[in-house]
């Protein structure tokens, strides 16, 4: 068996790009629609649990690779995605607020460990996605502007994660 171990960071970034783009486009398409919450719930329930479980597998891979920060981050992303499913099903905004706070803490830890600045920005955008999803769930008006805002942050986070994934996989683009 080969001793080569592949860093799971690129796979995690591609998955992050995928799921944040899903959140982003669903948020943008949900804005202004009366049945927007049901569309958001259906899309998130379908994708979040599956991608969350894949992140948990990536957590094990990051542990085996020896990357403690990626392992803890991937594990939390997996829990957050499954938690988003539970939060949307229960209609609880508080779970989203707690997840947003933890992503901000991860951004601060990334600053302390010397991670690229783009990763801190990405984690901050993801925190804003969860914050505005929580505000959307908590809003009495289903046509709330919060759907558009979390959609925009979802697209920004998706594009940023996609750039970072391509930059790390090709090693031809700078990662700041």
Per-residue pLDDT tens digits for 138-155:
876 766 799 899 999 999
Q: For the full predicted model, state whether its pTM sits above 0.85.
A: yes
| pLDDT above 90 for 31 | no
DSSP string, 42-88: HHHHHHHHHHHHHHHHHHHHHHHHT-HHHHHHHHHHHHHHHHHHHHH
Residue range 79-130, pLDDT digits in tens: 999 888 777 767 778 889 999 999 999 999 999 999 999 999 999 999 999 9
Domain ranges of the chain: 10-167
């Amino acid at each position: 068996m080969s001793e080569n171990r592949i860093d799971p960071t690129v796979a995690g970034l591609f998955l992050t790009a995928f799921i944040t783009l899903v959140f982003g486009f669903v948020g943008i398409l949900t804005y202004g629609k009366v049945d927007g919450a049901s569309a958001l719930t259906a899309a998130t329930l379908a994708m979040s649990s599956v991608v969350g479980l894949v992140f948990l597998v990536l957590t094990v891979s990051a542990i085996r690779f020896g990357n403690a920060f990626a392992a803890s981050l991937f594990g939390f992303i997996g829990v957050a995605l499954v938690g988003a499913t539970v939060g949307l099903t229960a209609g609880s905004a508080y779970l989203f607020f707690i997840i947003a706070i933890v992503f901000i803490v991860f951004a601060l830890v990334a600053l302390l460990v010397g991670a690229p600045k783009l990763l801190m920005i990405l984690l901050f955008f993801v925190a804003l996605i969860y914050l505005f999803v929580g505000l959307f769930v908590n809003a009495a008006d289903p046509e709330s502007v919060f759907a558009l805002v979390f959609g925009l942050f979802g697209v920004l986070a998706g594009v940023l994660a996609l750039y970072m994934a391509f930059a790390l996989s090709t090693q031809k683009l700078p990662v700041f």
